[in-house]
Amino acid sequence: MDELIKKANVLVEALPYIRAFAGKTIVIKYGGKAMTDPALKEGFATDVVLLKYVGLNPVVVHGGGPQIDQMLKRLAIEPKFRQGVRVTDEATMEIVEMVLGGAINKEIAALISSHGVKAVGLSGKDGGLILAKPFTRAEWTKRLGTDLGGLAEHEDYGLVGDVQQINPALLLTLQGSHVIPVIAPMGVGKDGRTYNINADLVAGAVAGALKAEKLMVLTDVRGIRDEDSKHISTLARKDVARMVKKGTISEGMLPKVQACLTALDGGAKKAHVVDGRTPHAILLEIFTDKGIGTEIVT
């Protein structure tokens, strides 16, 4: 009986949040171990479906770095990163499009659909969803507020793109048809070229364009830590800038915090970096009083 009462209490705790978030959009950046561990993959799909059943509108933007690296190594192509961003030449772009827009995207959509809610896999190339522009050192330095080095003046990131514009019409149409969009992070430039875009940055831009209630960035750490490696539950923009300059926030966490700031600047209500290794991390963040991870605030 005690166990049944505990379950009932969980539902009671969730009720105010279900009521408050009904009809609202939740953008989830799906990546890290949550995409590779079978149990976590299954749990992610059921959590997303549950969100839809209780009246929320989830939108999934996925990464696929480990899977891309695995394929590149099989083809004897060495992965390269600078300041947390994958350098993408022509050969790498072919692999990125094949892995992200093909195998991973359709697998995620199929897994979600298998739990009873329709999901559609698409990339930023579909329906003019993402207009991309070349990703430059100057722009990244401006956004970070500091030059972290690692890129000579004559070098660039290749076919790495940045989000120039999100056209949310297709996403709104899918939401109106009770379909969950699953987005692979690629876009098309005005030059007609396909660009590989960091999934965190895409998620932030999508969350802003949809005026999402929440952006949730899943990662493989508990959240953001301070200089003493202590977990931070809430982090302000000014503190983000300071920690980036000191190197406390670095590498792969850089695009995650920038995604959160982009989402907030675009009109999203809240942004969180959450440990995707925690079972049902999405539900714990949305439907419990304490939540988990780190919230980024302006």
Q: What is the pLDDT of residue 4?
A: 62
Q: What is the pLDDT of residue 14?
A: 80
**Per-residue pLDDT tens over the stretch 273-283:** 999 999 999 99
Per-residue pLDDT at 231 exceeds 90: no
Average pLDDT estimate for 281-296? 85
More confident residue, 245 or 39: 39
Contact 74, 87 (CB under 8 A): no
| In CATH, 24-291 is 3.40.1160.10 | yes
Name residues whose C-beta falls within 8 Å of residue 153's C-beta, 6 or more positions apart in sequence: none
The residue whose two tokens read 């297709």 is: 170
pTM, two decimals, is 0.90
Per-residue pLDDT at 151 exceeds 60: no
Split at pLDDT 50, 70, 90, the class of 223 is confident
Domain ranges in the chain are 24-291
More confident residue, 139 or 130: 130
CA distances from 244 to 2, 29, 127 (A): 47, 21, 36
**Other CB atoms closer than 10 Å to residue 16's CB: what's the count?**
11
Would you say how long the chain is, in residues?
A: 298
Rounded to whole angstroms, the Cα distance separating 127 from 132 reads: 13
**Per-residue pLDDT tens over the stretch 195-216:** 999 999 999 999 999 999 999 9
The burial of 239, by beta-carbon neighbours within 10 Å (0-12 exposed, 13-18 middle, 19 or more buried), is given as middle
**Per-residue pLDDT tens over the stretch 133-149:** 998 877 777 777 776 65
